[in-house]
Amino acid sequence: MELIQSVRECQLWRRQITGSVGLVPTMGALHDGHLSLIRAAVRACNHTVVSIYVNPTQFGPREDLSAYPRTLERDLSALRNLQVSAVFLPEDREIYPDDYSTFVSEGELSLRLEGQSRPGHFRGVTTIVSKLFNIFRPDYAYFGRKDAQQLRVIRKMTKDLNYDITIVDCPTVRDINGLALSSRNQYLTKNEQLRAAVIFRALSEGKELFEKGERNAGILRKVIEARILTEPLAKIDYISIADDVSLTEFEGEITADALISLAVFFGPTRLIDNLNLPLKI
């Protein structure tokens, strides 16, 4: 497994390998969710590249950039067991030198949901992902459904900018109580982690009701909200029931495949999760 820190070395590495390349972008503090993406890449591709980079441009000024968990030694030992070909570990100045001035932004999907709560977040995401796409020229790139809007924004960017890359989405990995694994779960105490399982219970209740035939988005939102508010530690940022493709909010009847997504604070920790509501015709 090669550890690479400079863009130049990545490009040289890329030139001398043959066969398919799968890219898994991460911010490190790897957990089983990340590892499931990496395993999928290793199964399908001749070479898997994992990037570990806490990308400052996707954090807002009052967000957790400096506190974000960094567990490099542990991450590398997890990766050594997985037949990863290369790990890219750049420093900030390698990605954003002092004179850096080019950004990539998607102008529709990015503005909704997370884009409302975290202005500029997706501009940072699309910029770093397009840089990684250019640096590694992968055939496949792997993203988690856990970050449902990110996945859609990246698919749109890939299409709009004509990247010849297949975006592969992987299911959300959860703990035994249903809490979606996230590097940010490390901010929670064990007790808070147990209590945060209310998020998945609420999403599941919404989905069950939908499967029983409830099509009113307002009613589903209320049910999800009521369940989350049973947990005194939780503070709701948003609960969305939106068109699965355009991410426009359903106000009344759900008339197309939908996505329930939400962001909930547990203390200062902001957690996101989602479930699909496919309309079976």
Contacting residues toward ligand AMP, per CB under 6 A: 26-27, 33-34, 36-37, 143-144, 146-147, 170, 172-173, 180-183
Residue whose CB is less far from ligand AMP, 173 or 264 = 173
Helix (H, G, I), strand (E, B) or coil at 259: strand
Residue of 31, 34, 47, 121 marked active site:
34
Residue whose CB is less far from ligand AMP, 36 or 204 = 36
Q: Evaluate whether 42 touches 82 at the Cβ level (below 8 Å).
A: yes
Q: Which of 262, 245, 264, 249 is nearest to 217 (CA)?
A: 249
Question: Considering the complex, what minimum distance in angstroms separates the CB of residue 275 from ligand AMP?
Answer: 13
Q: CA-CA distance, 14 to 105, in Å (whole number)?
A: 26
Instruction: Tokens for 240, please give them.
Output: 């969305």
Question: Considering the complex, what minimum distance in angstroms separates the CB of residue 194 from ligand AMP?
Answer: 17
Question: Considering the complex, what minimum distance in angstroms separates the CB of residue 8 from ligand AMP?
Answer: 24
- Does the annotation mark 34 as catalytic? yes
For 65, phi and psi rounded to 5 degrees? Answer: -55, -50
Instruction: Tokens for 249, please give them.
Output: 């909010």
Question: Considering the complex, what minimum distance in angstroms separates the CB of residue 251 from ligand AMP?
Answer: 28
Q: CA-CA distance, 272 to 264, in Å (whole number)?
A: 6
DSSP state string for 4-17: E-SHHHHHHHHHH-
Calculate the CA 178 to chain-centre distance.
17
Question: Considering the complex, what minimum distance in angstroms separates the CB of residue 70 from ligand AMP?
Answer: 11
Question: Considering the complex, what minimum distance in angstroms separates the CB of residue 36 from ligand AMP?
Answer: 6
Give the N- to C-terminal CA distance of the chain in Å, as an integer: 48
Question: What is the dihedral sign for C-alpha 178, 268, 75, 28?
Answer: positive
DSSP state string for 177-222: TSPBP-GGGGGS-HHHHHHHTHHHHHHHHHHHHHHTT--BHHHHHH
Residues known to be catalytic: 34
